[in-house]
Amino acid sequence: MSAASSAPTWHILTGEYPPSPGGVSDYTRQVSHALARAGQDVHVWAPGEGGVQDEGGVTIHRVPGLLTPRGLPALSRGLDACPGPRRLLLQYVPHALGLKAMNVPFCAWFAARLRDERWVYFHEVVFPWSPLAPWRHHILAGTTRLMARLVASSADQVFVSIPQWAEHLPGRVRPRARWLPVPSNLPVEVSPDAVEALRAKLGAGAWLGHFGTYGRLIAEPLEAALVPLLQRETTRRALLLGRGSRAFVEGVAARHPGLRDRMEARDSLSIEDLAVHLAASDVLLQPYPDGVSTRRTTVMAGLALGVPVVTNTGHLTEPLWPSLDAVALAEGTAPASLVERAESMLARADLGRALGQRAARVYRERFSLERTVETLLNPGRP
């Protein structure tokens, strides 16, 4: 048998895939297509309607309730009908697996799938536990720990989006859990002409950008930092990008009517237009309640495009961030620290340009999609 014929076929299992929105959805499409471009035979299995379709060289299998107990027999039959050897690559996020993040049957199915090579990528691992939480949260926390143990203990290869996730895995698994940062889910190159045209359309001023989905834990510190930055200098304006940006702008404008005309929301752009808008920003303001980390695709998007990013540390921030010097890093989650760091970038355009250039270089060297594929194709290489 030739080396080519004995190479395993990739079967990527995911709880979400486009057109379903979400970071895992975007990531799965990116990786599956990148593997296909590298000459790999790739199948993606996801819940949904549509059956089997070809998507640019990737075979997509959509089955209703695929990862739930009612869909698992169809998943088993579908996999068994595909020639071996097979490599399963599970995109693990508890809530994306179904059954309200308590899909123990699927995890047991994965652990018992001995006929296939089993790999898992932990985007997230467990629901956080707190002694003061409601009892249903205790159940969820305990169940997700059982699920992670089932999957990790049976996997031949284990990857984590941030090193801290390994702490939640069984002790014998932790030493072999490989850290694999999440790349940007937007184009990493844009037309300079398109950026200039957008800047001309937006108008003069220093543009403070933000890219995200505006959940409460990020929206609150974002507003607390953005408002004083806009109030301090009338030529500053804000460009809010991503789902939820329009509602965020309306809320801030209701509380600060004088800022209404200095904020622009864009919540339904294509990924190409999103990248152009990010590149048109002078500074990106990206606060995170748990700190910047390599699982945050929103910060990766800014790094990849060479835009100066102001962000903060937290309990999930990897130790490498201060030494990389790729972002303007505020210590802790206090908005005042974020404001101070943003002011330094706005006051010195040359500092911002230098930071953006370092950011783009660091992204290419450490975090890009190319690095992801290299690791997946050569998991034993340091």
Digit-coded pLDDT (tens) for 267-307? 999 999 999 999 999 999 999 999 999 999 999 999 999 99
Binned at pLDDT 50, 70 and 90, residue 1 comes out as very low
CATH number, domain 3-180 = 3.40.50.2000
Binned at pLDDT 50, 70 and 90, residue 335 comes out as very high
For the cut 70, the answer to whether the pLDDT of residue 330 exceeds it is yes
Question: At which residue do the structure tokens 């953006």 appear?
Answer: 356
pLDDT in tens, 358-380: 999 999 999 999 999 999 999 87
**What is the average per-residue pLDDT within 231-252?**
97
Can you give the residue ranges of every domain in the chain?
Answer: 3-180, 192-367
Binned at pLDDT 50, 70 and 90, residue 382 comes out as low
DSSP 3-state assignment of 332? coil
Q: What angle do CA 310, 168, 141 make, to 5 degrees?
A: 95
Binned at pLDDT 50, 70 and 90, residue 132 comes out as confident
Amino acid at 20: S
* Whole-Å CA distances, 52 to 63, 65, 355, 373: 9, 15, 45, 25
Q: Residue 26: count other Cβ atoms within 10 Å of its Cβ.
A: 21
Binned at pLDDT 50, 70 and 90, residue 180 comes out as very high
For the cut 70, the answer to whether the pLDDT of residue 75 exceeds it is yes
Q: Give me the phi and psi of 121, to 5 degrees please.
A: -115, 115
Binned at pLDDT 50, 70 and 90, residue 6 comes out as confident
The β-bridge relationship of strands 328-330 and 309-312 is parallel
Q: What angle do CA 38, 40, 44 make, to 5 degrees?
A: 115
DSSP 3-state assignment of 73? helix
pLDDT in tens, 182-217: 999 999 999 999 999 999 999 999 999 999 999 999
Predicted confidence at residue 4, as pLDDT, reads 45
Amino acid at 73: P
DSSP 3-state assignment of 330? strand
For the cut 60, the answer to whether the pLDDT of residue 5 exceeds it is no
Fold match flag (3-180 vs 192-367): yes
Question: 192-367 has which fold?
Answer: Rossmann fold (3.40.50)
pLDDT in tens, 215-241: 999 999 999 999 999 999 999 999 999
Predicted confidence at residue 380, as pLDDT, reads 79
Give percent above pLDDT 90 in the chain. Answer: 94
Rounded to the nearest integer, the mean pLDDT of the chain is 95
**What is the average per-residue pLDDT within 91-96?**
96
